[in-house]
Amino acid sequence: MDKKRIPWFLFILLFSIMLLVVSVVSFSVGTSHITFRKIISTILNGKQTITHTILFDIRLPRILLAFAIGGALSIAGVILQAMFRNPLVEPYTLGISGGAALFVSLNIALKLNQRFGLLSLPTSGILGSIAVILILYVLSVKKGVLKIQGLLLTGVMISFISSSLIMLIMAVSHTEGLHRIVFWIMGSLEESNSLLLKLMLLVSFLGLGISYLFCFDLNALSLGEEEALHLGINVERTKKFLFVVASMLTGFSVSIAGIIGFVGLFVPHFVRMMVGIDHRILLISAFLCGASFLILCDTLARIIISPLELPVGVITGIVGGGLFIYALTKKKYA
C-alpha cells in the first residue's frame, strides 16, 4: 500500500466511525430512552411493537434525512469555497435559501398547503430555489463567461431582498401562519414523507458522486482560474456545471428541511484543517463529517428540552458558530 494514502484511509475511517457512533447514539436517545441491547432485540425480533415504531418510523427517517442534508450542504460548501476561493462563502450566500424560504412563506400565507397538501411546501421551496438559480445564471453570465464576483454580489442582494419580503409576509400574516413560517425558517428534520426522504438521499449521493468526478478540477480552481486554464481545465464549463450542482444540493436541502445554517460553512473549514486541500479526500471527508454534525445537532434539538423539540437550525447556529470561531483561532486562512 502506498504510504501517502494511509492518512487518507485513516481520515475516512475516522469520520466513518464518528458517523456510526453518532447515528447509534441518536437512534438510542430521545424522549423514550432505548438501550443498545433493546435496539438489537427489536431488530432481531422484527415485531411491530411500540419500540419498533419509535426506532424505525420516527428516529431512523430523521437520521437518514440528517445524513443526506448534512452531507449535501457540506459538499455544496466545499464546491463553492473552491470556486470563489473564499472560505466565507457558504451555500446560503447565493440567496438560494432565501428564494426557497420566500416561496414557502407565500405558500403558508396564502394557505396553499391546506389546499394542495403538505407536499406543496417542499415543492414551493424547490420552485423558489430554481427561480433564484435561473436569475443568478442569467445575470452573472456575460458573453458565455460566468462572472464569479458578480454571482456572489447578486446572490447576497437576492438574499437581502428575499429576507425583506419574508418579513413583510410575516408582518401581514395571521398568528398561525406566522408561527409556521418562523418554525420552517429555523429548520426542522421532522419530515414524515418517505418519497421526499428517498429523493433527498438520491440527490445527496448524486451530488457527492458528480462532484468527485471534478475533484481535480476543484483542485485547479482552488489555485485560481489562470492556473486552472494552464492545467488544461475548461474553466467556464466547469464553473457553470459545479454552480448548478451546488445550487441543486442547497435547493433540495432547504426545500425539505428549511434553513439549516453553518453546516456548509463550518464543516468544510473543519475538515480542510484536518485533511488538507486535496478534494479527492476533502469531498468524502466533508460529506461524512457534515452528516455526523447534523445528526448530532438534531439529536441535541430533540433532547435538550424533551419532550419539546428545538429547531435544528438554532442548534447548528450555536454549535457551528462556536466551533467556527474556535477553528479560526487555530488556523488563519488567507
Q: What is the pLDDT of residues 298-322, one digit of tens each?
A: 999 999 988 888 999 999 999 988 8
Greatest Cα pair distance, the chain, in angstroms, is 64
What is the per-residue pLDDT for 287?
98
Predicted TM-score of the model (pTM): 0.91
What is the per-residue pLDDT for 122?
84
What is the per-residue pLDDT for 5?
53
What is the per-residue pLDDT for 240?
87
Determine the topology of domain 24-332 in CATH.
ABC transporter involved in vitamin B12 uptake, BtuC (1.10.3470)
Q: Quick check: 258 and 186 in contact, CB under 8 A?
A: yes
Domain locations in the chain as residue ranges: 24-332
Q: What is the pLDDT of residues 104-135, one digit of tens each?
A: 889 888 888 778 876 788 888 889 888 998 89
Is the alpha carbon torsion for 35, 311, 250, 220 positive or negative?
A: negative
**Which amino acid makes up residue 329?**
T
Give the whole-angstrom CA distance, residue 215 versus residue 220: 9
What is the per-residue pLDDT for 190?
83
C-alpha Rg value of the chain to the nearest Å: 20
What is the per-residue pLDDT for 321?
87
Q: How far is CA 139 from CA 97, 142, 163, in A?
A: 18, 8, 20
What is the per-residue pLDDT for 332?
53
What is the per-residue pLDDT for 218?
93
DSSP conformation class of 142 = E
What is the per-residue pLDDT for 10?
87
Low-confidence ranges of the chain (pLDDT < 70): 1-6, 46, 118, 191-192, 331-334
